[in-house]
Amino acid sequence: MPVLRLPSVAAALAAGRPLRIVALGSSSTEGVGASSRGATYPAQLEADLRAALPGQEIEVINKGVSGQDASEMLQRLESDALSLHPTLLIWQVGVNGALRRNSPLRFREMITAGVDQARAAGVDVLLMDSQRGAWARAAPERAAFDQVLADLADLPGVALFPRGALMDAWTARGAPPEAMLIPDGLHHNDRGYACLSAAVAEAMIDGVPRAHAATLATSSR
């Protein structure tokens, strides 16, 4: 998995400031398929980061709404995310647009607008692409939507968490998509959400510069 270079996150951790993360997305963020609210990936991400960074104030706010695509998330970006003044926005997006065969070009325009809005507010952006599973056969444009996110991750203060590549790695180690998804072939089960959150937390922490990491280690003693 990639090391996530998130400058605002690194600066907040180095200064000991509270780390607020808003998870914006659709059903994978809301937690469809999870056995409880605490089993969703945002809830588990908060727990994973707190365990890894003892003494650091960390909050992950779940703003997932099932069924939404990029246009609906863009409309609530300010009210549901930026108005909360997060350090980091994790934006899981693209699956529903691909399933509905929306225009990848229009998708690029919307995500670019949202990323620009977040960056202007001084918020790091972590884009999360689509999962693997049987659903992808009904979404021939899936790769084009994922490519939009990969392209935007080249911007300063923007990174990509490749959920698809993560699931490919799980498969290579003997855990195919069916082991990480509920029977609908689209939404994660508790195991899938737990593994996803652990991978995101690890990639975030690995992205903190060594000088900052040393400060964190010292302050947590």
pLDDT range class, residue 210, cuts 50, 70, 90: low
| Contacts of range 36-44, beta carbons closer than 8 Å, 24 or more positions apart | 37/62, 39/190, 39/193, 39/194, 40/64, 40/193, 41/188, 41/193, 41/196, 41/197, 41/200, 42/90, 42/197, 44/193, 44/194, 44/197, 44/198
> CA–CA separation, 47 vs 194, rounded Å?
10
> CA–CA separation, 199 vs 192, rounded Å?
11
Q: What is the pTM of this model?
A: 0.92
pLDDT above 60 (res 218): no
**pLDDT at residue number 211:** 42
pLDDT, one tens digit per residue, over 186-199 is 899 999 999 999 99
- Chain CA centroid to CA 156, Å: 17
Strands (E), 30-182: 58-64, 88-92, 124-128, 158-161
What value does the mean pLDDT of the chain take?
Answer: 91
Strands (E), 26-111: 58-64, 88-92
pLDDT, one tens digit per residue, over 60-79 is 999 999 999 999 999 999 99
**pLDDT at residue number 219:** 44
pLDDT, one tens digit per residue, over 145-182 is 999 999 999 999 999 999 999 999 999 999 999 999 99
Amino acid letter, 214: A
CATH number attached to the domain at 7-207: 3.40.50.1110
